[in-house]
Structure 1
């Protein structure tokens, strides 16, 4: 089946869509904020939708569904995931063998991801590198982490711009060199730049204030670009997929008269 035909048969949920592909079977998906990469293992906790309206095999990490005109179920294998509040690019594969090669590439650090975050505060320096040790604890389906002990986490950061509404917010570009759970969220918080809208590691008072002033209802972390280099069937492939900055980011970073009016207490 041609990759275009395969994509047409994927039962994407609302706020998820394919944005790029390679003929080998690699697919880049744009995931919106507030939906999960895959269903929760506990059916009782599946109140939040995932990217596909399909069953998920947790052991082999793929979605499975019956498509019109196909005798056998179709499968979509996840390569990487994004937290539910995070939006942006995630990768998937139309076949198991390719998925294995891509996961190997991610493990060997042949993949590069670029994120943007709106953070509360101002950074010390315009760019640099965070090198921390993260201690990650799992409690059933919940994950919590902090700096100190554990495994090394490295992230390149760059200050992009301040917000035009004088809310003491910064747009940051983040490039993780390691792939630890909640890495960017924990490191931003520990370096006094909590991500706006983060309900676990964020500045809760600032979250409430910005929700009132600007209607900030999401976590402002977005995977804008993913690049990966790998070999498949004897061919070297360089793949890049991008997802533009959401309008919700621009609404807060760019000038907004309504926000300024609310700040002055006139409405």
Structure 2
């Protein structure tokens, strides 16, 4: 971040893809009020990728947000006190702290249960963000969210304990150096046991942005690696998933797109996503492991245990959980812009050669 009297620039992280610009400020620059954001927009000072922006604009991963210099603080008498959040009950505090599976000076990792949203929204009043006061512990400030999990997805959720740590972790997520491994049960068994799903995703029209779909023309590049760990006949498979991009509902859409929706995912798999035989109808998608660089120079590497419904399904289907202990995190660095261009040129060259060969073959037959 630049000095207070200089223009600041931020890169939109994968976990902020699709949110409104005013919501981005509320998430990352809490001291900037909506009125200030609106004024900056009206006067052309607020820009996204160099173009004038409005508070209601939707952001896309990788865009650059130009933020004017921080405004001088008002005299103490003129500063309006922020409305106090209602104090948490003893039960809420205990619940929040029971989720903690790692804590250090810069980070907290929770094992988020299924059914708990990461942040609030329409008709969503119980969420991790509302419990963060319970996780301040001995730190000076309230901890901050740096990425999200879907409401029905369980598992490892990273929280920063300071503004400095939040900026550091956000950069890791936007730069795709953070590594995440998910476990899922899927319907059927993929023919290819270890593969890459490379299908562009976009918001599905008419759903208000609540649902994604594969869109070859307008979608954003989206890549997922999957590996079959074990299968129960042809009925279902236990798979390991590693997202290389961070699109909304990416893992769920990708697995449904190749004909193997995640068990319990009625949103993308419809009725074909449910198993009989006493298997829970809850979503079987779990953020198993997160590995990310830490501001102190070390690696943060945390594994989250399965929720009860997922563990019970594994037992019922006869899966051996120990087989997943050697996950295959892909440590290949993300391709640079130059490398992507080189790949595109090489692909185009190959296509041209194939077409020339086809034309020669047709000519020979004549």
| Structure 2 counterpart of 1:46 | 124
Q: Deviations over 1:40-77 (max 9, x none)?
A: 2x3xx025x213654xxxxxxxx45798999x8x4120
Alpha carbons 2:146, 2:170 under 8 Å: kept:
yes
Question: In structure 2, which of residues 159, 164, 180 is the aligned counterpart of residue 92 of structure 1?
Answer: 159
The DSSP-based 3-state class of the residue aligned with 1:105 is helix
Q: In the aligned structure 1, how far is the partner of 2:267 from the partner of 2:172?
A: 30
* Residues 181-220 of structure 1 aligned to structure 2 (within 5 Å): 181-207=248-274, 210=275, 213-220=277-284
1:252: Cα distance to partner? 2.2
1:15: Cα distance to partner? 9.5
Matched, 1:158 2:227: yes
Structure 1 residue ranges without an equivalent (≥5):
1-9, 55-62, 258-267
Q: In the aligned structure 1, how far is the partner of 2:102 from the partner of 2:157?
A: 11
Q: Deviations over 1:114-142 (max 9, x none)?
A: 00000001102110111111112487875
| Structure 2 counterpart of 1:108 | 175
Alpha carbons 1:132, 1:152 under 8 Å: kept:
yes
The DSSP-based 3-state class of the residue aligned with 2:211 is strand
| Cα distance change of structure 1 residues 248 and 64 upon mapping to structure 2, 3 Å threshold | closer
Alpha carbons 1:120, 1:203 under 8 Å: kept:
no
* Residues 125-140 of structure 1 aligned to structure 2 (within 5 Å): 125-137=192-204
Q: In the aligned structure 2, how far is the partner of 1:178 from the partner of 1:102?
A: 16
The DSSP-based 3-state class of the residue aligned with 1:89 is strand
1:229: Cα distance to partner? 1.5
1:199: Cα distance to partner? 2.3
| Cα distance change of structure 1 residues 130 and 245 upon mapping to structure 2, 3 Å threshold | same
Alpha carbons 1:117, 1:222 under 8 Å: kept:
yes
| Cα distance change of structure 1 residues 250 and 65 upon mapping to structure 2, 3 Å threshold | closer
Question: Which protein has the larger Cα radius of gyration, Structure 1 or Structure 2?
Answer: 2
| Cα distance change of structure 1 residues 66 and 138 upon mapping to structure 2, 3 Å threshold | farther
Taking CA–CA contacts closer than 8 Å with sequence separation of 6 or more, which of the two structures ends up with the larger relative contact order?
1
Report the aligned-residue RMSD. Answer: 3.1
| Cα distance change of structure 1 residues 36 and 68 upon mapping to structure 2, 3 Å threshold | closer
Between Structure 1 and Structure 2, how many residues are aligned? 226
Structure 2 residue ranges without an equivalent (≥5):
1-91, 319-366
* Residues 1-267 of structure 1 aligned to structure 2 (within 5 Å): 11=93, 13=95, 17-23=99-105, 25-40=106-121, 42=122, 45-46=123-124, 49-51=126-128, 53-54=130-131, 63-64=132-133, 74-137=141-204, 142-149=209-216, 150-163=219-232, 168-207=235-274, 210=275, 213-230=277-294, 232=295, 235-255=296-316
1:253: Cα distance to partner? 3.1
Runs of 4+ in 1 over 6 A off after TM superposition: 65-70, 138-141
The DSSP-based 3-state class of the residue aligned with 1:152 is coil
The DSSP-based 3-state class of the residue aligned with 1:151 is coil
TM-score w.r.t. the length of structure 2 is 0.55
Q: In the aligned structure 1, how far is the partner of 2:117 from the partner of 2:206?
A: 18
Q: Deviations over 1:134-182 (max 9, x none)?
A: 112487875211112311111111001113xx57011000001111111
1:251: Cα distance to partner? 2.3
